[in-house]
Structure 1
Amino acid sequence: MCPQDEDDGVAAWEVLGFEQHGTLGIRASGDAERLFVQIVVGEFGPAAADYPILFAKSPETGRFYAGALLRLQAGDDANLDESGRLRGYRPADLEREGFFVEQDRIVIDRDLPMFVDGGGAPLFDGDGGQGVALQRVQRALGRLHAGLPATDAFIARLLERSLLEPIDIDLRFDDGTRFRLEDLYTISADAVAALPDTTVLAMFHDGDLAACYTQIQSVRQIARMARVRNDRLAGA
């Protein structure tokens, strides 16, 4: 969640404050541009109601992270409303887009098009208090700050117990188009069922078991999303 520094160690980001950003607002970001968004384990419940939850490896570090698959391909707007925003749960990583935490301070990149001076949803009210938009951002940052280490630990336990397995998504639609995603992983229901009773009991007490089955059940959302896309094609 920390921004990268420019060369020479000088940060390219501005510390958010009323004095400098009192008239600054944010416009709705383009949810339609994101296919796969990182989430933390505390988001599994609400995210699973709308999206499949899968695991991927970071190309920079090679480490696993959890994410929600928001759509099957670019241009697929089945999960979007008329304004281009997600209809269902909006992951914290989207809510805080453009905002980061650096040394316990919120910093922003003013060059991003989501920031507008004198327009959009205001970050501050006239008295310098936090606007509704900024309150949402702070809640999202707090959820990520607490959730990322917990999620890393959860994934480490999955790997220790050999519970992750590859999943290839290969779908063909009625219009002849094909959707394929590789290099994604899911929790193996068979591997969970084969665990010793003592391990299952420990996972139940620390919440891992519930998170596992929430993720496993969420994979069914892939079939739902495919049906929705085919239904839309049939009605076109």
Structure 2
Amino acid sequence: MARFEMLNNVEHRDVRIHTQRSADTGDAVQYVVTFPLELRRAQAHYPIFFQKDSNTGQFFPIILLGFEKGENLFLGPDGWEPAYIPMSILRGPFLIGYQSNPEHPDGRQAVITIDMESPLITSAQDGQPLFLEHGGSTPYLENLTELLEDIQLGLEMNAPFIAALTEHDLIENVTMSITLNDGAERQLLGLYTINEDRLNELDDAAVASLHKAGHLQSIYMIMASHAHFRAMIDRRNAKRLEPATGLG
């Protein structure tokens, strides 16, 4: 169970972070959340879909990594295989949290928090240190801080993006069915994508509006990313030492 603490250079001065990607350090995940600002890089390697939050009913974009819970087809014996690692993976055990601050405009300020139960935390010398000997931030922590700020911005960008897609009724449910070489079949439920027919039927004003807001590019990147779904089947079959046979 996660146990987040506000990061500080006193209590966490000896904490180090594993940066080698592996199932043992929590990278065996079926999907991770993504954002419009990441789509250009992510769509070059992974299929991107949407899921719906069961509590709020809100959609959010995801990078699909596996066909079932706990499966990451992009994780090999030597670590992460594609050149680009999703931001939600790189953040490791860290998240942006908030603490009360009456002097801040909205009464709170953002802080970095760390999950002390994460398997990525170590005291081994091969881990990345967070703080210098006299308390300053290491280059690793400085880069991580920038990453967390980008993730926070990305999460904020998701809301208007999803709102625009919903306004034009462009999100549709899709069931992805696969057949593996050994005859095993998988059906991925709960995924959503862009309805291309409705997109093509939009009038010029709607298209112009999506383009001006920067959403049109994101839409096309998501649609293009689905070409990688076939490669995921190949990866799954390769793990069984057999070639792929088909996509239903």
Q: Give the TM-score band, short-chain normalised.
A: 0.7 to 0.9
Change (3 A) 1:98 1:212: same
Residues 29, 71 of structure 2: 8 Å contact kept: no
Deviation of 1:87 (Å): 2.6
Task: Write the distance in 2 (CA, Å) between the matches of 1:56 and 1:75.
Answer: 17
Equivalences for 1:32-51 in 2 at 5 Å? 32-51=27-46
* SS of alignment partner, residue 147 of structure 2: helix
Equivalences for 1:131-210 in 2 at 5 Å? 131-210=138-217
Change (3 A) 1:14 1:78: closer
Residues 23, 118 of structure 1: 8 Å contact kept: no
Letter in 1 for 2:116: R
Letter in 1 for 2:118: L
Structure 2 regions of 5+ residues with no counterpart? 99-109, 244-248
* Cα deviation code 1:138-170 (max 9, x no counterpart): 122111211112111100110110001111111
Residues 40, 151 of structure 1: 8 Å contact kept: yes
Q: Establish whether residue 82 from structure 1 lines up as the match of residue 90 from structure 2.
A: no
Residues 79, 88 of structure 1: 8 Å contact kept: no
Equivalent position of 1:16 in the other structure: 7
Deviation of 1:60 (Å): 3.0
* SS of alignment partner, residue 144 of structure 2: helix
1:27 aligns with one of 18, 24, 29: 18
1:117 aligns with one of 111, 118, 123: 123
Letter in 2 for 1:22: R
Deviation of 1:124 (Å): 1.8
* SS of alignment partner, residue 51 of structure 1: coil
Equivalent position of 1:69 in the other structure: 64
Equivalences for 1:220-235 in 2 at 5 Å? 220-231=227-238, 233-234=241-242
Deviation of 1:100 (Å): 1.8
Deviation of 1:31 (Å): 5.6
Change (3 A) 1:176 1:32: farther
* SS of alignment partner, residue 186 of structure 1: strand
Equivalent position of 1:106 in the other structure: 112
Residues 31, 63 of structure 2: 8 Å contact kept: yes
* SS of alignment partner, residue 242 of structure 2: helix
TM-score, normalising length: structure 1: 0.86
Residues 34, 88 of structure 2: 8 Å contact kept: yes
Paired-residue identity, %: 29
* Cα deviation code 1:8-39 (max 9, x no counterpart): xxxx5322111221111011454641111001
Deviation of 1:78 (Å): 4.5
Equivalent position of 2:87 in the other structure: 92
Residues 91, 148 of structure 2: 8 Å contact kept: yes
Q: Would you tell me which structure has more helix in proportion to its own residues?
A: 1
Task: Write the distance in 2 (CA, Å) between the matches of 1:136 and 1:34.
Answer: 24
Structure 1 regions of 5+ residues with no counterpart? 5-11
Equivalent position of 1:9 in the other structure: none
Aligned residues: 225
Deviation of 1:70 (Å): 1.5
